[in-house]
Structure 1
Amino acid sequence: MATNSAVDQSERLRRPAGIRSVWLGDTRVSFVPDGDVRLPPRGWLPDTTDEVWAGHRDYLDASGHLVASIGALLVENGDRALLIDAGFGPQTLPPDPGTPRGVIRGGALLGSLAELGRRPEDIEALAFTHLHPDHLGWAWHAAPGGDRPAFAHADYLVSEPEWAQRDLLAAHGMAEEITGLAPYVRTVTDGQEIFPGVRVRITAGHTAGHAEYVITSGSRRLIAFGDALHSPIQVDHPEWSAAVDHDPVLSADHRRRLVTELEEPDTFGFGIHFADVVFGQVRRDSDGPAWLPVDA
């Protein structure tokens, strides 16, 4: 696996990711882009300061926002295919002054999947890290020209504690999404293998039942850590929780352990919102742990 120059990495922090793939043994994992969201940095990470961002301008776009990619992770083993998360779906929303969110857009996922040589019907299961709108989109929106979601043929795998809390989500304006998911949901438990070499790991903090997926093939493993981390800057500052974290203290405690784990040999991470550096490893430099982007 090859890394990129410091200049290229800085540019990639300010743009959404395109399709990117890496190999773990005989398993291919690919980021499937759907869109992006722009995040006000101090609104999203409220424990930061203006001084922090003045010293880290390389993380911000021309408008001063963090760039967060939105999409899914395609896991392929031979002819079999699993999708983790489902993007935002065919919609665009303007900035919401009531939340720490700028403009958010989706819609590219099915085309991205086709570029990777896969059709929706090739996906045998759709696994979710958690039940937030930017991870559910294509699981409940009707497919273009149809009246059912594109992945309605597949099992929707949701962690048991996450699904048990669905009424809270419905009470916060997500009743339509939860109703749309319900006919297809099958709950999964901590440690369960859901696909060859893919195990669920429940790591509540961002949500009450947030899940990670540990993918192992050959001598390598990849941790798809969902929204445990939203930006590579949190690798060096795991104490910075996102404004939307369900339990900021629990979330920060988990991030500290996760960063340490990502330093282990032959261990890679997948950060679904990590701009255009979605695959990487954690390596220490003179300033502490840092995210080192990795490409096939």
Structure 2
Amino acid sequence: MPTTTHDDATDLPDAPTWTVGDITVHRVDEVPLPAQTGPWLLPGATPEIVARTPWLQPDFADEQRVLRLASHSFAIDVHGLRILVDTGIGNGKQRANPAWDDLNSDYLQRLTQAGFAPETVDLVVLTHLHTDHVGWNTRADGASWVPTFPNARYVTARTEWEYWAGADMDEPRRQMFRDSVHPIRDAGLLDLVDVPSGGADIAPGVRLLPTPGHTPGQVAVELSSAGEHALITGDCIHHPVQLIHPDLGSCVDIDPAAAARTRRELLTSLSGTRTLLLGSHFPPPTAGHVIPEGDSYRLVALPGTVR
């Protein structure tokens, strides 16, 4: 797992980009996730399952037929509005997962090189309030955690906030809220959005869609411009193997039955369309179109452009 930061963002490779009409989407990498993540997160995706789906290799599964996963954000330019979808794991934070503990990545340099210096970000969308989606909400300032994006509004679904506000959380999750969620609330930067079944518009061409199951208030992010469409998954789909097996769930789904139902309904709505699916944990090539295959689906990959 990478542990080295870079002082000069120009040393880093350019972020892959996709265009959706007049909208530009950048993938901003944080870290590839270690090999043991796949068997832990999606225990039903056994090597035997992977072996029956040759198109998963080599991009989405390794030579041992173990799933590849990654942590990244999507940075979006919508007519000059700078939007960041999810903020990864974060640096220097105490985490129970050893792969996430005290991380030291060059994420902020990558974000800046993509044209999204922290002070220029206007809106941060949090698809849900899990540790690996909120970490860069804040950065260390001495002994305190302060908002990384001081001029942005941070948006999440009201249902998501209310669920966790009433949940009996273990200490690692309470720690995550203390260092990565409460500081943005205390700074007055957190906006709670009601997301009805038809979705909620938060900016021109940007809509939150309810995708409950993994968490009660999780959302996907739909982008629309000039007749083109894309959808950022959040964790309603962790990995392309779930296109083949939509009922294959994550070990951390709060409501597995609802998660499977959400995933199947979403894939049915995308299948055979030109909507670009952007996976929040899909390793490169990260994106593609959903097409029918038998009674399920497959991903036709569409790598981003590196300029």
TM tier, smaller: 0.7 to 0.9
Gaps of 5+ in 1: 1-16, 97-101
1:268 deviates by 1.2
Please tell me whether the aligned partners of residues 71 and 88 of structure 1 are also in contact (alpha carbons under 8 angstroms): no
**1:179-218 CA-partner distances (Å, limit 9, x unpaired):** 2232221101222211220011111111011011111001
User: What count of residue pairs does the alignment treat as equivalent?
Assistant: 275
Match of 2:190 in 1: 185
Match of 1:73 in 2: 74
Please tell me whether the aligned partners of residues 18 and 276 of structure 1 are also in contact (alpha carbons under 8 angstroms): no
| Corresponding residue SS for 1:229 | coil
Identity %: 26
Match of 2:204 in 1: 196
> Is 1:31 matched up with 2:31?
no
User: Aligned letter for 1:179?
Assistant: H
| Corresponding residue SS for 2:250 | coil
Tell me the TM-score normalized by structure 1.
0.83
Match of 1:174 in 2: 173
Q: Which sits farther off after the overlay, 149-158 or 102-111?
A: 102-111
Counterparts in 2 of 1:211-290, with a 5 A limit? 211-285=219-293, 288-290=296-298
CA distance in 2, matches of 1:281, 1:41: 22
Please tell me whether the aligned partners of residues 126 and 156 of structure 1 are also in contact (alpha carbons under 8 angstroms): yes
Please tell me whether the aligned partners of residues 45 and 248 of structure 2 are also in contact (alpha carbons under 8 angstroms): yes
> Is 1:45 matched up with 2:42?
yes
Tell me the TM-score normalized by structure 2.
0.80
- Alpha-carbon spacing, 1:274–1:228, altered in 2? closer, same or farther (3 Å): same
Please tell me whether the aligned partners of residues 88 and 132 of structure 2 are also in contact (alpha carbons under 8 angstroms): yes
Match of 2:3 in 1: none
CA distance in 2, matches of 1:113, 1:166: 29
CA distance in 1, matches of 2:20, 2:147: 30
User: Aligned letter for 1:84?
Assistant: V
CA distance in 2, matches of 1:63, 1:106: 28
Q: Which sits farther off after the overlay, 164-173 or 57-66?
A: 57-66
Please tell me whether the aligned partners of residues 24 and 217 of structure 1 are also in contact (alpha carbons under 8 angstroms): yes
Please tell me whether the aligned partners of residues 138 and 145 of structure 2 are also in contact (alpha carbons under 8 angstroms): no
CA distance in 2, matches of 1:110, 1:269: 25
- Alpha-carbon spacing, 1:245–1:192, altered in 2? closer, same or farther (3 Å): same
Q: Which sits farther off after the overlay, 62-71 or 266-275?
A: 62-71
User: Aligned letter for 2:153?
Assistant: D
CA distance in 2, matches of 1:240, 1:212: 19
CA distance in 1, matches of 2:123, 2:23: 16
